[in-house]
Amino acid sequence: MNLLSRSFNGQLLKHESLAKYTSWRVGGEAESLYIPVDKQDLQLFLTSLADHEPVLWLGLGSNVLIRDGGIKGTVINTKGKIRQMHLLDDVRVYVECGVPCAHVARFCSEHGLSGAEFLAGIPGTMGGALKMNAGAFGAETWDLVESVEMMSVGGMIKSRRANEFEVSYRSVKEVDNACFLSAILKLSADIDLAGQEKIKKLLAQRAATQPTNLPTCGSVFKNPEHDFAARLIEASGLKSYAIGGAVVSEKHANFIVNTGTATALDIEQLINYVKSEVSRQQGVELQTEVCIIGDKLA
């Protein structure tokens, strides 16, 4: 059911299946799903919620596994929304959370700026990239961040400098349950305008080595220090191993593919099996990069 509130302008959906909002194409229902028009509308909506209402932020849903039992409370989906982006000066760019990372890479290169090309390899939005310090091709999101704007679940907006956060590999601390609304990125002038060619090469590399045309979440596991999760999984003989409709990609072992019939439970069980086998055979405890959330079916 589609409910439109008089006090805000976005879409408020009740008991909405989240499968179509995640790149794995699995997941149960959200009790409520809100799709804001812009950040002012989001702020207004959040102030209307009960004080203790659970809130989950969701962008492209590319780094999340939502269990089949769904999500209690309210899910905020910014896909296609809150996506303003513009130059502030010669080397700084303002980017809102709903902008896909690939669009940021292209925008920067088109304006003669370098340093953001790697974002073309991240299958998510800027908000998600900021939350987990997403990276690709040896570079990370927070290498570019000068400052951010955040919104609490109560609708309070606060600007913070990058040095106020504890940032490490695929991790950003001191976030609590706030949403990254926007960021100011500082880049370098690309005098020879080689950025677009670099993006093309990076995307070609990604297409050649990853199952980019299939339902996945991106990389499932963090790379251990001085090693690669994909190498460890492949060395354990787990390529093409399947549980239900979920299978370890033959193309890249750190990807799990939904072949079309997978449930979130299939994927979670496969994740746990891969972890246990790598631990048993390689003596390495893999850590998940993907966030596993929600309730299991009773």
**Residue positions annotated with a catalytic role:** 170, 219, 289
Closest CA to 169 of 97, 108, 91, 227: 227
**Distance of CA 222 to CAs 67, 70, 275, Å?**
20, 25, 11
Rounded Cα–Cα distance for residues 201 and 165 (Å): 32
Residue 70, CB half-sphere, CA atoms under 13 Å: how many? 16
Rounded Cα–Cα distance for residues 84 and 105 (Å): 14
Rounded Cα–Cα distance for residues 22 and 259 (Å): 15
Bridge-based pairing of strands 29-35 and 291-293 is unpaired
Rounded Cα–Cα distance for residues 111 and 208 (Å): 28
**Distance of CA 60 to CAs 77, 198, 256, 277, Å?**
8, 24, 17, 30
